[in-house]
Amino acid sequence: MAQFTRVSRSVGLITLQNPPVNALSAVTRQGIVDAVKSALGDPKVKSVVICGQNGIFCGGADIKEFGTNITGPPLVPMIHAIEASNKPVVAAIEGSAFGGGLELALGCHYRVAHSKAKLGLTEVTLGLLPAAGGTQRLPRLIGVPAALNLITTGRHVTAAEALQLGIVDQVTDHNTVDEAVKFALSVAGKSLDARRISTYPCPRPSDVDALFEEVMQKVRQSARGAIAPIACVQAVRAAATLPYSQGMEREQELMATLFTSGQARALQYCFFAQRAVGRWSMPSGARWDTSKPRSIRKAAVIGLGTMGRGIAVALAQAGLSVVAVETQEKQFTEAKKMVSGMMERGAKRRGTAPPLDKITYSQNIQAVADVDLVIEAVFEDMALKEKVFQQLSTICKQGTFLCTNTSALDVDHLASQTRNPELVVGMHFFAPAHVMKLLEVVYGPRSSPQAVATAMQLGKKMGKVSVAVGNCRGFVGNRMLKPYLEQALFLLEEGATPELVDGALEEFGFALGVFKMSDLSGLDVGWKIRKGDGLVEPGLASGPSARIRQGRRYSPLGDLLCEQGRFGQKTGQGWYRYDKPGSRVARYDPWLHSFLEEYRTQHGIVARRMDQQEVLERCLYALINEGFRILEDGIAAGPEDIDIIYVFGYSWPRHRGGPMFYASMVGLAKVLKRLEHYHQAHPDIPYMQPCNLLRRLVASGSPPVHKWKEAIKKLRSQL
């Protein structure tokens, strides 16, 4: 709702009241309409201030109302009525003005913002566009290029940037409402002719066609198949080329297309899923709301390689004191330099001081004796990690949480090396750890709820999206990745090329296809793991048996490349050719293509033509099938956990909602049918056999994704 009061005798104060963010629900919109009517009808009121309660102006539309029959007064006429008022209306922006909230502010005649406020037209992140005049008013106010940048990205700007761009008229460090009231008093009675943004001519760039063509190309590239950013460009183009009323019509048309699209549903699902993963639970019944985290002030990182450096930076940036331990002299010296550089660059971007003094370095593990929590990031070698955990267990003070950044090893086995296994959890970061948002918090059967709660809270403090998952080989993300990677190799054997496979996956929306991604991460990483698993046999043996390992189909293609020293970007050769070691542009490599032909001949494989659909189905459905197994095993509590892991850790396109959401959009019956087909065609790939849970969900009528948790619980109770 919204409350109307009169302050300073002649200022009508309208306060939005819809906690937590004063979203524009039907009731709030009705409240605003009524309050505006009261303010304009009250002869004692000479000017009006609109603000939000609890230090937040307005977070935008109430997305809980999406997908339902929207009732209550619509936003567009409400904002028009405010703009058309002949009493000046001032928006007092504290906290945030996002989406519809900023559109409401743009309908006001003046805007006063607190210096800590953030503003943005964020609709594009939910698969929509600012459809309450935002795409028409913002370019009229700040010009086409700046408006395009904000509207197509949904970027938040600070109050200072908003002032510089001309979005707000005044920024204050004092009480924003008091300042806005003063402002409102000062402009009472003045002409508003020059203050109604919808009446401004839109600054028209000199070559409007060329500008929009260029922008469209850039947006298409970065959108990776998302349609909302494209529609945003089209709407801003309407602002630049059509009168306001026609521009508004275009805005509405474009919004209508987006509103009912699968992409908007996917992005809105992600919005809620991201919040849902914070409400974690464990099979033991322990939960987020009944488990109390301990506060962590001092943490240690063991091993300052690729991961340890990023983790140390992320911890220091979150305000913790960090003890960083590295035993190898060369790595120690290099890491100190690199970590400082990373912190300096980060601080420069944020305009803050680098927290260099937060980190102390040591080559002696004894230095971690007084820390509250340790994150181990030494080589992926169980014997080494066992030793480190045994040491930590004796060195650290009582109650220190011991965490491992292992990518796949058994967290419970590491716990068994310590005196207090309940204090051990996995904290699986993603590279580069100070940048990537995802953190898998891995609990073993003996991890205490407090250890999980503490790791989850620490992840949040570090700005991560943390997902609690059970302990199994590869946890959730890497376990699902394995069948995906293997399918890609099988496709190459059968006749595909890296270009075809990557092209299909990139068109689907991945930032990089599987082969480009492998080249970037380094082919030797997986090679080492496969060697450890006893899967690698040197040389190019012939016949079908050479492609069977441990009773199932195996492709040695990756091993053969590694034998040639082709480790990807770092060696300048992998699945692609690079101009020099370390270069990033993947180029077609004739050698690789001859190698594949030779390989097929040697193994008696006749290459067949395959299309993008087969590539997508085999790679993605194999991954999704493993996701169902993970749900069946109780390793992930629900589909949201898996989807958030894939969106934040594996560049799954957000506008497709994550693999499990995608499966629900494709239709579970179809996914099941295609998996059955591929399993029949490739009986030597056991994981293509559809998972029981998938079959049972289909048999129970393919419930929508938000009902899976409930359905799984029911199915379990029937077993």
Site residues (vs ligand NAD, CB under 6 A): 302-308, 325-328, 331, 377-380, 384, 388, 405-407, 429-431
Distance CA(59)–CA(267), nearest Å, equals 17
Distance CA(5)–CA(550), nearest Å, equals 76
Instruction: Output b/e per residue, 500-511; b: 16+ Cβ within 10 A.
Output: bbbebbbebbbe
Residue type, 392: L
Residue type, 555: S
123 catalytic residue (yes or no): yes
Considering the complex, state which of residue 268 and residue 418 has its C-beta at the smaller distance from ligand NAD.
418
Tokens standing for residue 61:
């539309």
Q: Minimum Å distance from CB 434 to ligand NAD?
A: 13
> What are the two backbone dihedrals, phi and then psi, of residue 324, each rounded to the nearest 5 degrees?
-110, 120
Query: Which entry of 65, 83, 94, 123 is annotated as an active-site residue?
Result: 123
Q: Minimum Å distance from CB 331 to ligand NAD?
A: 4
Residue 701: is it exposed, middle or buried by C-beta count within 10 angstroms (0-12/13-18/19+)? exposed
> What are the two backbone dihedrals, phi and then psi, of residue 553, each rounded to the nearest 5 degrees?
-60, 140
Considering the complex, state which of residue 431 and residue 699 has its C-beta at the smaller distance from ligand NAD.
431
Considering the complex, state which of residue 436 and residue 669 has its C-beta at the smaller distance from ligand NAD.
436
Contact indicator for 112, 180 with CB cutoff of 8 Å: yes
Name the one residue in this structure whose structure tokens are 């405010």: 82
Considering the complex, state which of residue 308 and residue 449 has its C-beta at the smaller distance from ligand NAD.
308
6: three-class secondary structure by DSSP: strand
Q: Minimum Å distance from CB 408 to ligand NAD?
A: 7
The DSSP call for residue 419 is: S
103 catalytic residue (yes or no): yes
The DSSP-derived string for 38-68 is HHHH-TT--EEEEEEGGG--B--B-GGGTTS
439: three-class secondary structure by DSSP: strand
Considering the complex, state which of residue 481 and residue 688 has its C-beta at the smaller distance from ligand NAD.
481
The DSSP call for residue 606 is: P
Considering the complex, state which of residue 79 and residue 304 has its C-beta at the smaller distance from ligand NAD.
304
Considering the complex, state which of residue 379 and residue 588 has its C-beta at the smaller distance from ligand NAD.
379
Considering the complex, state which of residue 388 and residue 675 has its C-beta at the smaller distance from ligand NAD.
388
Considering the complex, state which of residue 435 and residue 681 has its C-beta at the smaller distance from ligand NAD.
435
Secondary structure, 3-state, 255-315? HHHHHCCHHHHHHHHHHHHHHHCCCCECCCCCECCCCCCCCCCEEEEECCCHHHHHHHHHH
Beta strands in 334-493 (DSSP E): 359-362, 373-376, 401-404, 424-429, 438-443, 465-470
Distance CA(184)–CA(190), nearest Å, equals 10
Q: Minimum Å distance from CB 424 to ligand NAD?
A: 15
Considering the complex, state which of residue 331 and residue 689 has its C-beta at the smaller distance from ligand NAD.
331
Considering the complex, state which of residue 83 and residue 326 has its C-beta at the smaller distance from ligand NAD.
326
Q: Minimum Å distance from CB 533 to ligand NAD?
A: 14
Exposure on the CB side of residue 212, measured as CA atoms within 13 A: 20
Residue nearest to ligand NAD (CB): 305
468: three-class secondary structure by DSSP: strand
Distance CA(546)–CA(154), nearest Å, equals 52
Q: Minimum Å distance from CB 230 to ligand NAD?
A: 33
Q: Minimum Å distance from CB 377 to ligand NAD?
A: 4
Q: Minimum Å distance from CB 442 to ligand NAD?
A: 11
Distance CA(292)–CA(337), nearest Å, equals 37
Contact indicator for 531, 523 with CB cutoff of 8 Å: no
Tokens standing for residue 380:
């992926």
Q: For residue 16, how many other CB atoms are within 10 A of its CB?
A: 28
Q: Minimum Å distance from CB 507 to ligand NAD?
A: 26
Q: Minimum Å distance from CB 510 to ligand NAD?
A: 17
Query: Which entry of 103, 326, 376, 617 is annotated as an active-site residue?
Result: 103
Q: Which of 90, 66, 82 is nearest to 13 (CA)?
A: 90
Distance CA(662)–CA(406), nearest Å, equals 29
- All residues at 6 or more sequence positions from 170 whose CB lies less than 8 Å from its CB, including other chains: 110, 111, 112, 113, 163, 179, 183
Distance CA(699)–CA(694), nearest Å, equals 9
The DSSP call for residue 202 is: P
Q: Minimum Å distance from CB 715 to ligand NAD?
A: 33
Q: Minimum Å distance from CB 552 to ligand NAD?
A: 24
Considering the complex, state which of residue 185 and residue 301 has its C-beta at the smaller distance from ligand NAD.
301
Sign of CA dihedral 330, 336, 339, 345: negative
Whole-angstrom CA distances from 394 to 342, 388, 455 are 32, 10, 21
Catalytically active residues, by annotation:
103, 123
